[in-house]
Homo-oligomer: A and B are copies of this chain.
Amino acid sequence: MTDYKITAIEGGICAAAGFKASGIHAGFRKNKQKRDLALILADDMCTAAGVYTTNKVFAAPVGVTRAHLANGKARAVICNSGNANTCNTDGYDKANATCDMLAKALNINADDIIVASTGVIGVPLPIEPIENGIPQLVAELAYGAEASDKAACAIMTTDVKKKEYAYELEIGGKTVHIGGICKGSGMIRPNMATMLCFITTDAAVSSEMLQKALSEVIKDTFNMVSVDGDTSTNDMVTVMASGKAGNAEITSEGADFDAFKAGLEAICRRLSIAIASDGEGATKLIQCNVHGFKDVEGARVLAKSVISSSLVKTAMFGADANWGRILCALGYAGIDIDTDKIDVKFISHAGEILVCENGRGVDFSEELAKTILLRRHITIDVDMKCGGASAIAYGCDLSYEYVRINGDYRS
């Protein structure tokens, strides 16, 4: 595997050449300080790709965007927070009306628009905030970091932190930029942890190769995140490529494609970690590295099983080195494993400690384990000792605050 020089930069979705953004308070949220409508506009037509929730109950904007991206082209993204536009009789009408109004204001085609929503399910989407907000949203479109920041804020729901990153790397002798914003683990009324992500790049990539890169990269990034195991109805990750970096268009596999995929993976991994560590009520980022396994698909399932276990998550909240729960979660993952070979370590900036060897407990210092587990970023390291494949899953602990956020109907 080649190592690529991938550098973190400022600018988010406006780091790539050819993209403007804006984010305003349109009125979905009561708090007038909270931006709730975001727009990303490409100067020219982009190649584009998307991946969507696998939930059979999916939001109207997911259905509309999937149809719009079928031709691998897009010009703009519009996204509201505060209402999911899911399970409503008029959902498709409203999502289409949103695209039509924006298309008219921007003088582009409605089917070149990516539309997304996040918020409460089953409450009809009010169309007035969109209708009244579009003029301001378009008027405030701008290049640069500040514009990206506004869009990133506008898609947040109960996210505590804004999620906005960008990287640059070289492809075919040209400097290429990839940036993204996302929201995750938040909700409104309360509702479910929708994950939305919008990525822009100035790399020149064909629609087919863009979709291929995205579909491959999400397997090891966004699809390895679990906050509470509930797959939202509104999940969506899209990427638009403007081609303005001037590299030779990537139209097939090869060195340039691999480099682009590495950049795309970097941004998706960074955003995935941001989602996990900002999970509802999370006090800690929990990462499970499963390595030494016979195949990568199995390693992914095992790592996700550990990260998704409520008992593992509560133990991490309590800084309890209760490794039996990790063995248990590996055991019920539905994968054929040799339980007598498993080693488990806890790792953090405070050190590392072996707690289980060959599937059996070892004597260890409870005090050191506690010191390690009291940190904010914990790695659960699992060595299956039966091969060379590995996978990493990202999650968070399960705290009182998670229950409060999701249980208190008055909040």
Contacts and interface: CB of A to CB of B under 8 A. Distances in A.
Contact of A56 (B122, B191, B331): B331
A408 B397 CA distance: 13
B360 A314 contact: no
Nearest to A370: B409
Interface stretch (A144-152, A174-182, A316-324): A316-324
B406 A403 contact: no
A86 B325 CA distance: 11
Counting chain B CB atoms within 10 Å of each CB, which of A124, A399, A406 scores highest?
Answer: A406
A355 to B, nearest CB: 8
Interface string A322-356: 11110111111001110100000000000000001
Interface stretch (A98-106, A230-238, A385-393): A230-238
A314 B402 contact: yes
A190 interface: yes
Contact of A232 (B89, B328, B400): B328
B229 A122 contact: no
Nearest to A191: B324
A208 to B, nearest CB: 29
Contacts of A231: 328, 331-332
A173 interface: no
Contact of A318 (B122, B400, B406): B406
A129 interface: no
A385 B248 CA distance: 55
B311 A361 contact: no
A66 interface: no
A121 interface: yes
Contacts of A408: 318
B407 A403 contact: no
Given A84-B324, A370-B409, A55 B311 contact: no
5 contacts: A55-B332, A192-B311, A230-B328, A318-B406, A398-B406
